[in-house]
Amino acid sequence: MSASPERREELLATAAEVFAAQGYDATTVRKIADAAGMLAGSLYYHFDSKESMLDEILSTFLDELWARYDAVLAAGLGPRETIEALVTESFREIDGQRAAVAIYQRESKHLARHARFGYLAGSQQKFEKAWLGTLERGVAAEVFRADLDIRLTYRFVRDTVWVAASWYRPGGQHSPEEIARQYLSMVLEGVALRT
Amino acid sequence: MSASPERREELLATAAEVFAAQGYDATTVRKIADAAGMLAGSLYYHFDSKESMLDEILSTFLDELWARYDAVLAAGLGPRETIEALVTESFREIDGQRAAVAIYQRESKHLARHARFGYLAGSQQKFEKAWLGTLERGVAAEVFRADLDIRLTYRFVRDTVWVAASWYRPGGQHSPEEIARQYLSMVLEGVALRT
DNA sequence: CTCCTTCCCTAACAAGTGTTTGGTAGGTTA
DNA sequence: TAACCTACCAAACACTTGTTAGGGAAGGAG
């Protein structure tokens, strides 16, 4: 009935890898079991459904992410510094939880409809409030441009950060901090050469 | 045995909507048939498999996209104007083929492994050659910054454009051209206020 | 040695999957 | 009228899906 937490985490990690590579619906419990070196039915000693594995992967990821974000938001930084810190923390999260981020990116939109994953919609709202609020604060403080549609800017910044999970591989030539630095430089200053 | 091309297109359009909303693997042929007002087996009068529907949706989309891109690349524009034209054409394509773009965005990565969808990988290479080449040309001509990792810049520009398909809805308050204009302004000039 | 817990296997289940086969209503052509 | 074609339905097929029930090997505790 009960199982050791370490084994659960191991199995969740391999399940997350398979989910990220193939997509949740295309992933069968037999594929997960194969990757874990056991048979399909044995997974049900540790988890009570395929859906609950997904649930645990996503909620663990979001808990960790919001711990980072809340710390940044509570630091009382200026708007530009807040954006910089949020982007940097996001890339650190992508670095540490690549699979979970990729799953979230791919599945959260249609999962949010289901009651069990309602917290995804809640998280998305907190997300929007944090980013959009910081951007508006920056426009008011005259550190960000006022001539842009602010919601378009929000989606632009949000998406450019998180899509990176689709190509990022840990251990590459750039550290998460270096990627964050260059991304921020492009978003804030643009790619065109100043004349 | 044979079927009218108009009916095929109608059915492919509804299939694309369902694929885009639910994901390819989560979409059953019965759901497609429901949306089309017929029974599952009847689809096989028009198509010989679920996979061939996906194939036709994606290849039609890519053909149309490359017709636009090739016209831009053949126009002999400067690097900055080429980027501007490519982005604008991309948003026009998102406007006209929202469902197909969303499917492509979501499924192309793991589909490219299958032999039948090898053209997806080919298209991705052409894609990289066109965008990366233009960016390098712009760095050489001193219209784009030289202090950024050029491949990072490429992925940044590419992703910011195409992720828009996940939230874009035709008939919104901004036309594709207006969205392209603001996106280009952010990518090229940045969101920070110049002092 | 015996009991008990942990962790996995074996074997099967019902429901759902993509697909096929044969039939048929209704319009078009000869 | 008779033959034919188009576009669909009805019913089933083999297979895969997530999930469950019972059993057993290994090892620690008494």
For chain A, 195 residues long, the average pLDDT of each consecutive 10-residue run is: 81 98 97 96 96 98 98 97 98 97 95 95 96 98 97 93 90 94 97 90
Domain covering A51-189 assigned CATH 1.10.357.10 in the classification: yes
Average pLDDT over residues B117-122: 96
CA A15 to CA B95: how far, in whole Å?
36
Q: Name the residue with higher pLDDT: B171 or B101.
A: B101
Average pLDDT of chain B to the nearest whole number: 95
The one-letter code for the residue type at B184 is L
Q: Give pLDDT, residue B2.
A: 58
Distance CA A4, CA B113 (A): 37
Integer angstrom CA distances of residue A133 from A91, A142, A160, A178, A184: 20, 14, 18, 26, 18
CATH class, B1-48 region: mainly alpha
* pLDDT in the model for residue A2: 61
Q: Which CATH entry fits the domain spanning B50-189: 3.40.50.11540, 1.10.357.10, 3.30.70.1710, 2.60.40.1180?
A: 1.10.357.10
Residues of B in contact with A144 (CB under 8 A): 191-193
> How close A166 comes to chain B (CA, Å)?
9
Mean pLDDT of B148-168: 93
Phi, psi of A142 (to 5 degrees): 60, 40
Task: Please tell me which of the candidates B159, B164, B191 has its beta carbon nearest to residue A145.
Answer: B191
Task: Give me the residue from A174, A183, A189 closest to B192, CB to CB.
Answer: A189
For chain A, the domains span 1-48, 51-189
Residues of B in CB contact (< 8 Å) with A are: 21-23, 25-26, 80, 106-107, 109-110, 142-146, 148-149, 152-153, 155-157, 159-160, 163-164, 166-167, 174, 179, 182-183, 185-193
Query: Which letter does DSSP use for residue A117 in this model?
Result: G
Per-residue model confidence (pLDDT) at position B195: 77
Q: What is the pLDDT of residue B1?
A: 52
Quick check: B43 pLDDT over 80? yes
pLDDT for the residue B51: 98
Per-residue confidence band for B21, with pLDDT thresholds at 50, 70 and 90: very high
Measured in angstroms, the CA of B54 and the nearest CA of chain A are apart by 15
**Quick check: A15 and A49 in contact, CB under 8 A?**
no
Judge whether A1-48 and A51-189 match in fold.
Answer: no
The Cα A175–Cα A183 span in angstroms is 12
Residue B190: list chain A partners with CB under 8 A: 186-190
Contacts of B58 (CB under 8 A, 6+ apart): B100, B103, B104, B108, B111, B117, B120
Residue of chain A nearest B135, judged by CA positions? A191
| Residue B3 confidence class, pLDDT cut points 50, 70, 90 | low
Distance from C-alpha of B60 to C-alpha of A61, rounded to nearest angstrom: 38
Residues 11-50 of A with CB under 7 A from strand C: 33, 37-42, 45-46
Mean per-residue pLDDT for B56-78?
98
Cα(B112)–Cα(B54) distance, integer angstroms: 13
Residue A184's SS3 state is helix
